[in-house]
Amino acid sequence: MGDPRGRGTTRARRGLLALAAAVVVSAALATALAACGGETVADDPLVGFWLGGGSPDGMTMIQVGKDGGDYVVLANPDAPAGDAVKEGDSLVIDTHAADLRLTPAGPDQLTLTFSGEMFAAPQSVTLKRVDEEQYADASVAQGLAVLERGLAMWKAGGGKEYPPAKEVTADGLLGKMVRWPSNPFTGGPMEQGDDPGDFTYERLDGGKEYSLAGRLSDGSTVGD
């Protein structure tokens, strides 16, 4: 899978995979399966876009593609998850923090099992197949959740007011506090604007409150 990112690539590549934590990095969703050698559901039941349940900041998101004969797995929403090895019907990924096992579980479903020293017992979640657009929209919602955590950190760190709009950017002060989310439709960082994958941010009540919304593929918004 290629990495078409431009601005913000270095920052976007920092991160790690964990069960309840966001993982990050490079590779636009628009090319995520294009470089997978033309695999289809009929060719390989593991290949595709997959979503688990939960809130946007806790949702499990997995992309599985192929580069030649090798599997490439991106997670939550587009971070390289680790080396993937096929074992029987399952795909096993070593993330260095945990072992992940993806196993077909019926039509358009995978079971994702987490195990390793950090787990007292293996934990599993069911993933459902979605299309690229649905995955991209879920990525926008998760990106907003990252920005919301950053804004909460801003106030918790002693900020009397929420930051001005100029600081709520990948290169602004908030961008130095969190792993800045990517725009799944462009591969670049999320920006303030009206196009799919963009977001709008506004301070309210003299900076004591804020509104934050992300633009989805159909032009609708998620968030405030």
For residue 31, is it within any domain? no
For residue 148, is it within any domain? yes
- Identify the H or E element spanning 127: strand 123-130
The confidence score (pLDDT) of residue 66 equals: 93
For residue 2, is it within any domain? no
For residue 210, is it within any domain? yes
Structural domain containing residue 145: 133-223
Predicted TM-score (pTM) of the model is 0.78
Spatial CA neighbour of 20 closest among 145, 157, 140, 203: 145
CA angle in degrees (0–180, nearest 5) for 21-34-29:
30
For residue 75, is it within any domain? no
**Top-ranked range on mean pLDDT: pick from 1-5, 19-23, 30-34, 127-131:** 127-131
What percent of the chain is modeled with pLDDT above 70?
Answer: 80
For residue 124, is it within any domain? no
The confidence score (pLDDT) of residue 119 equals: 84
- Rounded CA-CA distance 70/151 in Å is 39
Number of domains in the chain: 1
